[in-house]
Amino acid sequence: MSVLIISLPRTGSTSLLYKLASEKGLTPLFEPFDGSNRVKYNGESNVVVKTIISHHSNNLKLSKEFDEVVLLSRRNLLECAESHAYQTYFSKVKNYNSNNPYYYENVIDSVFKVCYDDIIKWNTELNILSEKINVPISYYEDIFDVNSNDRLRKGNKSDYKNKLL
């Protein structure tokens, strides 16, 4: 049994990776195509592989190597872009780790624009892939409780400061 998760960034795909691997008794492989060579995928079975849609040059071909494919996006692409921009910018500026909770604050406009444009482009690619392989897209908002205290984004930083007063 092998499962492939192809997702946009900041969609809960890492949490889904570990949940599916645990439930199915499979080995999780985190982003083996991201160019870092931290994790390798060599066509083995009994794995759940999670990748971001932009990490592999041929997701159509890749999807045919797996027994199951999960496509994951967000209904709210603006929030997806905000989260992606936050991670992109603050991982460099504040050494932010993408698995840590945070209070949202705006990033510089140029970073947000690039991230927003990427999210829109990648979501279009995910929709095209969905049609080609006849697999529906699953959505973050349908899988995860967006009001949960376990959610990484806790709200806006300014809202948080106001609540402390």
Q: Where are the domains of the chain?
A: 2-164
pLDDT tens by residue, the chain, 165 residues: 999 999 999 999 999 999 999 999 999 999 999 999 999 999 999 999 999 999 999 999 999 999 999 999 999 999 999 999 998 998 877 777 777 777 778 899 999 999 999 999 999 999 999 999 999 999 998 988 766 655 445 454 444 333 332
d(CA 5, CA 65) in angstroms, rounded, equals 12
- Domain 2-164 classification at class level: alpha beta
d(CA 31, CA 48) in angstroms, rounded, equals 10
List the Cα angle 164/159/165 in 5-degree steps.
20
What's the pTM value of the predicted model, to 2 decimals? Answer: 0.86
Q: Which two tokens stand for residue 93?
A: 């500026």
Cβ(74)–Cβ(141) below 8 Å: yes
